[in-house]
Amino acid sequence: MSYLKPTLHHPRLPTNALGLTRRDYEGSISTLCAGCGHDSISAAIIQAVWELAIPPHRVAKLSGIGCSSKTPDYFLGTAHGFNSVHGRMPSVLTGANLANRELIYLGVSGDGDSASIGLGQFAHLMRRGVNMTYIVENNGVYGLTKGQFSATSDKGSKAKRGAINTDEPIDLVALALELGATYVARSFSGDKDQLVPLIKGALTHPGVAFIDCISPCVAFNNHPGSTKSYDYVREHNEAVNRLDVFFDRAPLTAAYAPGEVVEVTQHDGSVLRLRKLHPDHDPTDRVAALNYLARHKAMGEIVTGLLYVDPHPEDLHAHLGTVATPLNRLDDAALCPGAAALAAINAALR
Amino acid sequence: MQPLSATNDFVVKFANVNGSGSASANQLFAKAILRMGIPIASRNIFPSNIQGLPTWFEVRVSGAGHLGRRGGVDLAVAMNPQTWDRDVAEIEPGGYLLYDSTRPLPPGRLRQDITVLGVPLTELCNAAYTDARERQLFKNIMYVGALAALLGIEAEVVERLLAEQYRGKERLAAPNRAAFHMGREWAAANLPPIGLRLARADAVGERIYVDGNTAAALGAVYGGATVCAWYPITPSTSLAEAFERFCRRFRTDPDGRKRYAIIQAEDELASIGIVIGAAWNGARAFTATSGPGISLMQEFIGLAYFAEIPAVIFDVQRAGPSTGMPTRTQQGDILACAYASHGDTKHVLLFPEDPRECFDFAATAFDLADRLQTPVFVMLDLDIGMNDWLCAPFAWDDARRMDRGKVMTAEMLEAGATFGRYLDVDGDGIPYRTYPGTHPTRGAFFTRGTSRDRFARYTEQGAAYVDNMQRLLRKFETAKGLVPRPVEEQAARATPYGVIFYGSTAAPMREALAGLAADGIHLDALRIRAFPFHDDVARFIAAHETVFVVEQNRDAQLRTLIVTECGIDPARLVPILHYDGTPITARFIRAAIGEKAAAPALVPLRRTAP
């Protein structure tokens, strides 16, 4: 496998609004298996951040432990990364977010990391409404420890060596909806056209944006009997919509039939244009989305797309009422009450 | 039996039912004595419960200024029938018992060697009040009035305290005043004078009366903490709550926006995770917990140690192990904190002795954490944290600035400074770090708990790993010169004996030393205030034939730490251990050391021939 990354690039690579090429958004070379879904997601992240013209160093990328948690090293090399401990990325990211509300927070995790050991932290982060993009790279196995079932493995699915999973799976999308996430999507690492806009929408969403991205593990869960293999996902993928993201109210350039497009204008003025693929899905109704998921799951479908979005989310900083200046920039004058105040406190304690 | 007679030197213990409103009345009693210029040491003894179980409040009046627990009770105010027998049994021979005489005592339940003082509190209250809650509450103020008559508390002092307490609420002040006077007048008219007296003095001075948790929280504010993530646990909850109160007062902009963020997390793991994430991103962050929380935080502490991220952890220790005794004190987390997490780790510990040091050390902890880029534990205990202590007033130098440690700025990076996250640039073992988002193309690195080289590049090469681990030891050496130094107090004359102690043992230790000296046993004393140990500790031990180590845990944990870290022969350190959940007393220390010092085994081997 490759271990050297070329430094040369085409002289006329396209640049974004910042004058940066896609290469400026890359990281180290991946050490994942050839064909791993996670590498496609990393590519989609690079694409999305580049298209949005976000300065790469203004992203803080955090992860837990696992194959997916290794990936922040492979994108946005000029951004600070934090590969923390298993299942605990949400708390670390929350703390980082509190310290500096101006950065863009991207948390990358896996199904082992977020649906087992990390289920509690996942849930409470959703509840708190931390402004971030949370991507679970979901392959239904523990890849780094070589193939055990994860909590998102479907009931009845078969492990590589033949064991059958008898536990009920956890649907992180349903949980996220239940717990108050304001941008909830599912996608597939093999569908870049769907995934890149979803990531763009998530990065611009000023609340908890959650994407459950199925990402087949070629080493341990890509065989017949797996419900998270490339083949299985392609056969059962039912996208509810296609998402285009715009930053101003661009006029509709194509003709759409009535009811075919849903436009959601976000708090910052950007517009999410959803081209509906299923008439009975309403992306602005949380309860309907939950319902939709349950019904279609029973039909054996993997529902993908932007399942729910709240155009006016509130984030943790809004709830707490923190000052606009990032806490990590406050100086002594802003933080220390001083000797005079202390004298008053002393007087009250005598 | 001669009734006890003492002026400004006795112990009063209140036995109440918790949730009955007694705390306010008992505090009034304590503060009134303080306002008369007489030092007191007060302690709450409370059950792990909310309402209905016994609670005690012990007030030691000490004109001499002894602030440790003495042991023994001279005057018991027994308001809880449930604990009657033990409350009466605890009274010193010649002591006094104050009780509600509305209901007659069962015959034969009284000792002959104490003076019984009955006040018909219920009867008096029922006559004066009709509301059930008032009848309960004012009973407490009434016995304060009775005590005022018996002991000689100046009525004006109490009136002034009530006026302060109920400022703006005259509706409440008046009945409280009335209840106080009712009790006082009844006692003056019906009870005999007793031998315990208060005489106005001038021994309090400028000192303040405050609990350690409140002081630590204030220190965190002054120390520049902006992020607090915590989970409720006895006895540390009040630290986080005090921080919030102080922040509302001092860190709120005119428009109501906050210069702080406090998260009550879902558990202790999330709490320390939030702290580490915030500190990684350049904010000063802390959590407050107790033993069980420390156990939960082990993994994250190891991450902060190895990835070198600041964190301040207040451990208000309680009796362990496991759930232990949640409302009893102990110094049982020393080893758990010093060596927290798997693998080879060593952490900075601070040992404040009283609320004044809680304030100072709290503020200093943030400077140390930032400078050393590592977790710093501030080791309080329930005795310091949840009791009010007389201590030196808080002080702050307005010229003081936060020491943020080695942080490489955008300017430095732009100027071409070599940046290696784990690169030791000047031999002190401490590298530079960068905050996320600092520079467009320089200074970014990957933080993780795995091994890496000096430039934060992942590696499994043994040499790089060992290099890093050795640098962490160098950093710990550097810490020795930065943390609070031990404080030595020499005996009045040369002695082969030394004694080492720390934290809340300090107050009873001082009293014990005076008593031992009177017994002819002299000891040089060393109060340890931090780990890693300054070289003074090893020097002190080397300079004495026998050194006692006094602590409040079963396994002599600080002694273990000294033996291990200073390479001392364990035979040279004699443990003196008290760990039943009550605060250690001077009587205990004096008896234990006295016994061992007199024992033949400790007489030097070399003797002159007779």
Enter the ipTM.
0.94
pLDDT over 60 (residue B604): no
Q: What is the pLDDT of residues B113-152, one digit of tens each?
A: 999 999 999 999 999 988 888 888 899 999 999 999 999 9
Angle at B210 between CA B207 and CA B211, to 5 degrees: 140
Average pLDDT over residues B378-388: 98
pLDDT of residue A244: 77
> Which residues does chain A have within 8 Å of residue B269's beta carbon, measured at their own beta carbons?
88, 91, 121
**Per-residue confidence band for A12, with pLDDT thresholds at 50, 70 and 90:** confident
Average pLDDT over residues A337-343: 98
> Would an 8 Å CB–CB cutoff place A248 in contact with chain B?
no
Q: What is the pTM of this model?
A: 0.95
- Across all residues in chain B, what is the average pLDDT? 95
Q: What would the two tokens of residue B516 be?
A: 């031992």
pLDDT of residue A160: 81
Residues of chain B with pLDDT > 90: what percent?
Answer: 90
For residues A178 and A194, the answer to whether their CB atoms sit within 8 Å is no
pLDDT of residue B212: 98
Q: Do A327 and B260 touch (CB under 8 A)?
A: yes
Q: What is the pLDDT of residues B388-400, one digit of tens each?
A: 999 999 999 999 9
Q: Do B261 and A322 touch (CB under 8 A)?
A: yes
pLDDT of residue B51: 65
Q: What is the pLDDT of residues B83-105, one digit of tens each?
A: 999 999 999 999 999 999 998 77
pLDDT of residue B1: 78
Instruction: Please give the Cα distance from B365 to B308 (Å, whole number).
Output: 15
> Would an 8 Å CB–CB cutoff place A179 in contact with chain B?
no
Contacts of B276 by beta carbon, 8 Å cutoff, 6+ apart: A84, A92, A95, B285, B300, B303, B304, B309, B311
pLDDT over 80 (residue B600): no
> Would an 8 Å CB–CB cutoff place A294 in contact with chain B?
no
Closest residue in A to B449 (Cα–Cα)? A84
Q: Is the peptide bond before A197 cis (omega within 30 degrees of 0)?
A: no
Q: What is the pLDDT of residues B168-224, one digit of tens each?
A: 888 888 899 999 999 999 999 999 999 999 999 999 999 999 999 999 999 999 999
Instruction: Please give the Cα distance from A26 to B368 (Å, whole number).
Output: 36
Interface test with B, best of A82, A93, A330 (most B CBs within 10 A): A82
Report A:84-123 residues touching B (Cβ under 8 A).
84-85, 88, 90-100, 102-103, 120-121
pLDDT of residue B610: 53
Average pLDDT over residues B425-438: 97
Instruction: Please give the Cα distance from B575 to B559 (Å, whole number).
Output: 7
pLDDT of residue B381: 98
Instruction: Please give the Cα distance from A283 to A240 (Å, whole number).
Output: 9
Spatial strand order of the sheet with B497-502 comes to B487-489, B524-528, B497-502, B546-551, B573-577
> Would an 8 Å CB–CB cutoff place A318 in contact with chain B?
no
Average pLDDT over residues A92-98: 98
Closest residue in A to B30 (Cα–Cα)? A350
Residues of chain B with pLDDT > 70: what percent?
Answer: 97
Average pLDDT over residues B47-62: 85
pLDDT of residue A250: 53
Instruction: Please give the Cα distance from B271 to B265 (Å, whole number).
Output: 5
Q: Do B396 and A73 touch (CB under 8 A)?
A: no
**Per-residue confidence band for A10, with pLDDT thresholds at 50, 70 and 90:** confident
pLDDT of residue A253: 53
DSSP bridge partners of A136: A109, A212
Query: What's at B382, amino acid-wise?
Result: L
Q: Compare CB distances from B273 to A72, A95, A317 and report the shortest one's residue.
A: A95
**Per-residue confidence band for B366, with pLDDT thresholds at 50, 70 and 90:** very high
Average pLDDT over residues A28-47: 93
Q: What is the DSSP letter of A117?
A: I
> Would an 8 Å CB–CB cutoff place A167 in contact with chain B?
no
Q: Mean pLDDT lowest for which of A234-238, B78-82, B265-269, B554-558?
A: A234-238
Task: Classify the phi-psi angles of B223: left when phi > 0, otherwise alpha if psi is within -120 to 50, otherwise beta.
Answer: alpha
Q: What is the pLDDT of residues A164-182, one digit of tens each?
A: 889 999 999 999 999 999 9
Instruction: Please give the Cα distance from B533 to B567 (Å, whole number).
Output: 12
Q: Compare CB distances from A92 to B218, B277, B444 and report the shortest one's residue.
A: B277
Q: What would the two tokens of residue B398 be?
A: 């307005």
pLDDT of residue A6: 77
> Which residues does chain B have within 8 Å of residue A109's beta carbon, measured at their own beta carbons?
none
E-assigned strand segments in B125-192 = none
Q: How far A95 CA lies from chain B's nearest CA (Å)?
A: 4
Average pLDDT over residues A119-143: 95
Q: What is the pLDDT of residues B526-569, one digit of tens each?
A: 999 999 999 999 999 999 999 999 999 999 999 999 999 999 99
pLDDT over 90 (residue A280): no
For residues A166 and A179, the answer to whether their CB atoms sit within 8 Å is no
Closest residue in A to B229 (Cα–Cα)? A95
> Which residues does chain B have within 8 Å of residue A83's beta carbon, measured at their own beta carbons?
446-450
Q: Compare CB distances from B273 to A91, A323, A334 and report the shortest one's residue.
A: A91
Closest residue in B to A318 (Cα–Cα)? B257
Give, rounded to a whole angstrom, the gap between the first and last alpha carbons of chain A.
73
pLDDT of residue B30: 98
Instruction: Please give the Cα distance from B162 to B363 (Å, whole number).
Output: 34
> Which residues does chain A have within 8 Å of residue B413's beta carbon, measured at their own beta carbons?
none
Q: What is the largest CA-CA distance in chain B?
A: 90
pLDDT of residue B328: 95
pLDDT over 90 (residue A5): no
pLDDT of residue B67: 97
pLDDT of residue A281: 79
Q: How far A125 CA lies from chain B's nearest CA (Å)?
A: 10
pLDDT of residue B245: 98
> Would an 8 Å CB–CB cutoff place A55 in contact with chain B?
yes
pLDDT of residue B609: 54
Considering only residues A100 and A266, tell me which one the structure prediction assigns the higher pLDDT.
A100
Q: What is the pLDDT of residues B245-273, one digit of tens each?
A: 999 999 999 999 999 999 999 999 999 99
* Residue from A168, A185, A221 nearest A38 by CA: A221
Query: At A151, is the secondary structure helix, strand, or coil?
Result: coil
Q: How far B154 CA lies from chain A's nearest CA (Å)?
A: 17
Q: What is the pLDDT of residues B435-460, one digit of tens each?
A: 999 999 999 999 999 999 999 999 99
Q: How far B268 CA lies from chain A's nearest CA (Å)?
A: 10
Write out the DSSP string of A280-344: T--TT-HHHHHHHHHHHHHTT-EEEEEEEE-SS---HHHHHTB-SS-GGG--HHHH---HHHHHH
Instruction: Please give the Cα distance from B351 to B245 (Å, whole number).
Output: 25
Q: Do B226 and A330 touch (CB under 8 A)?
A: yes
